[in-house]
Amino acid sequence: MRLPGLILIVFATLVPVIWFAPLAGERDAVALFSQYLGSSALILMGINQFLATRVAGLETIFGSLDRIYVLHKWLGVTALVLMGLHDIIDAEMNGLRGGPLAGIAEDIGEVSLYGLLILILASAITFIPYHLWKWTHRFIGIFFAMGAFHFFFIEKPFSNFEPLGLYISVFCILGLASYVWISVVRPMAPRGHAYVVQSVKRLGSVTDVVLSPKSRGMRHKPGQFAFLSFKGSGLSEEHPFTLSDAPTGDRTLRFSIKDLGNYTHRLGKHLKVGEEATVSGPHGHFTLPSGTAPQVWVGAGIGITPFLAFAESLKNRKSGPVKLYYCVRDTGDIPYAVELEKLAESLPDLELIIVNSAEGVRLTPERVIDDLGGRLSEAHVFFCGPVAMRKALKSGLILKGLKASRFHFEEFEMRTGIGLGHLSAWIWDTGMYQFEKRQAQKAQPAE
C-alpha cells in the first residue's frame, strides 16, 4: 500500500475534529466522542465502497489492486470497531430536538451495525465458498445505506447543512454512489476486452487457458493479473487470475488456473474451446525492474504463474543473472517444469532450481544467500506463494542484508482471515454488554 493513500484516509477521518472540538465545551464530551467515532466509521465505509469500484487512478494513489484488497479488508474491520464503540459509548445528549424520523433512524442504525458485523465476520471465515461470500458481500452496501440514513435523521448537535454535516454527507453520498455503480450501472454496461477461448489444457490440477482477442485486445506487463469471466458453462462470475505469459504481438492471453475451489473446479471441467470471455484489467505492479542487478524469483505451487511470464519476457530484454526457485510439494506437482527447463536452456542468464519438499528439501534464506555468492545486498527478490513462507523468507533475508524495498511480492490470497478468535471474543463481549444494558434499562421504573 502506498503512503499517500494511507495519509489521505487518516486525514479524512481527522478533519471532523476541527468542528467537533468546539462543540465539546457546550455538550457532553463523552457523547460527542461517540458521535465522532460513528462519523469516522461512515467516512471509512464511504471510502471503502469507493475502493471497491476499481476505477482508474486508484492504483496510483493506494498501490496495486492486490494491496487495495488488503486495505479494503482492514478499513472494513476498523470501521466495524468504530461502529461498535459508537454503539457501546452512549451518544445521547440532552436538549436536542429530533425530527419525525429520529426514532426510526436509531433503530435502523442498530440493524446496520449488526448486519455489517455479520457480513464482515463472514468475510473473515475463509472456508465459506467464494461465490456465497461474494453474493452476501453485496449486502454491505445496503447496510451502509442504513448507516447513512441513521446519520441523516438521528438527533445530533449539528445539522446536515452545517460544514460538519456536509463533510460527513459527502462520504455517505460517495459510498452510496459507489454502491449503485457496482451493483447496477457496471453490470448493465460491463467493461473489459472481448476474447474467445483458443485452447484449454489440463496439466494435473491446473487448467491452462489461452485466449485470442475478438478485436484489439488488452496490453499487459509480465506479472500482472486480470479479472476473467466466461459467457457460458455457468462461469460468468468474475475472478482474478495472474497472466502467465509475456505480452505478444497479437495480444493473446494465457492464464494458468489452479483447481482450488468450486469455480475453478467447474472451469477445468466445463470450459470449452470457442467460448467467449471478458477480460478486465490489467492490474498489479508486480513487474520486473530495469538494470542488470541479480534477481531471485521464488514461485511456490501455482505461485509460479507470474514467473512463467517473467521468464518468457527475458527473450526480449537485458537482465542480470536470475535464479528461479520453483517450490513444489511432490514429483507430481510440477506442471511447468519442462517448459521452464527449455526456457532456462535457451536463456543463459536464467537458472531454474526445483525445490521439492517431498525430498526433504526446503528453501531457506541461507540457501538463497549461498547461491547468490555474496551479492544479496544488490539483488531483487520476487516472491509469489503462501504467506507463511513469504514472511519467513523475507525476514531472514532482510536480517542478512537485503533491502526491504527490494523484496517484491504479490498478495497470493486476496481474501484472508482477520484473527477469528479475537474477533469472536470481541463480538461476544459487545453483544453481552448491550444485552445487559438493555435489560437494566427495561428494569428501571418509569418516571
- As a three-state string, the secondary structure of the chain is CCHHHHHHHHHHHHCCHHHHHHHCCCCCHHHHHHHHHHHHHHHHHHHHHHHCCCCCCHHHHHCCHHHHHHHHHHHHHHHHHHHHHHHHCCCCCCCCCCCCCHHHHHHHHHHHHHHHHHHHHHHHCCCCCHHHHHHHHCCHHHHHHHHHHHHHHCCCCCCCCCHHHHHHHHHHHHHHHHHHHHHHHHHHCCCCEEEEEEEEEEECCEEEEEEEECCCCCCCCCCCEEEEEECCCCCCCCEEEEECCCCCCCCCEEEEEECCCHHHHHHHHHCCCCCEEEEEEEECCCCCCCCCCCEEEEEEHHHHHHHHHHHHHHHHCCCCCEEEEEEECCCCCCCCHHHHHHHHHHCCCEEEEEEEHHHCCCCCHHHHHHHHCCCHHHCEEEEECCHHHHHHHHHHHHHCCCCHHHEEECCCCCCCCCCHHHHHHHHHHHHHHHHHHHHHHHHCCCC
Q: What pLDDT was estimated at residue 420? A: 45
Percent of the chain exceeding pLDDT 90 equals 16
Mean of pLDDT values over 48-60:
85
Torsion of CA 68, 74, 76, 80, to 10 degrees: -170
38 — pLDDT class (breaks 50, 70, 90): very high
Q: How far apart are CA 91 and CA 34, in angstroms?
A: 5
Query: What are the pLDDT digits (tens) for 325-352?
Result: 988 887 666 778 888 888 888 888 888 9
Q: Could you tell me the residue ranges of all domains in the chain?
A: 3-189, 193-283, 295-409
Q: How far apart are CA 400 and CA 376, in angstroms?
A: 8
Amino acid letter at 77? V
Mean of pLDDT values over 15-19:
94
Superfamily for domain range 193-283: Translation factors (2.40.30.10)
Q: What pLDDT was estimated at residue 185? A: 80
Q: What pLDDT was estimated at residue 126? A: 59
Q: For residue 257, which of 246, 243, 278, 238 has the smallest C-alpha distance? A: 243
Under CATH, what is the fold of the domain 3-189? Four Helix Bundle (Hemerythrin (Met), subunit A) (1.20.120)
Query: What are the pLDDT digits (tens) for 299-331?
Result: 888 888 888 888 888 888 777 888 999 888 876
Q: What pLDDT was estimated at residue 433? A: 46
Q: How far apart are CA 303 and CA 32, in angstroms?
A: 49
Query: What are the pLDDT digits (tens) for 239-261?
Result: 888 888 888 888 999 998 888 77
Sign of the four-CA dihedral 439, 444, 446, 447: negative
Q: How far apart are CA 13 and CA 36, in angstroms?
A: 9
pLDDT value at 419 more than 50: no
pLDDT value at 202 more than 90: no
Least confident of 23-37, 133-147, 171-185, 433-447: 433-447
Q: How far apart are CA 240 and CA 65, in angstroms?
A: 10
Percent of the chain exceeding pLDDT 70 equals 86
Torsion of CA 84, 88, 91, 97, to 10 degrees: 90
Mean of pLDDT values over 85-95:
81
pLDDT value at 15 more than 90: yes
Residue of 215 and 235 predicted with greater confidence: 215
CATH for 295-409, options being 3.10.25.10, 3.40.50.80, 3.20.20.60, 3.40.50.10490 = 3.40.50.80
Phi, psi of 232 (to 5 degrees): 140, 170
Q: Output the average pLDDT for the chain.
A: 82
pLDDT value at 165 more than 90: yes
pLDDT value at 98 more than 70: no
Asked whether the domain spanning 295-409 has the same topology as the one spanning 3-189, the reply is no
pLDDT value at 181 more than 90: no
**Residue 98 cell numbers, joined:** 429530533
Other beta carbons within 10 angstroms of residue 41's beta carbon come to 26
Q: What pLDDT was estimated at residue 210? A: 92
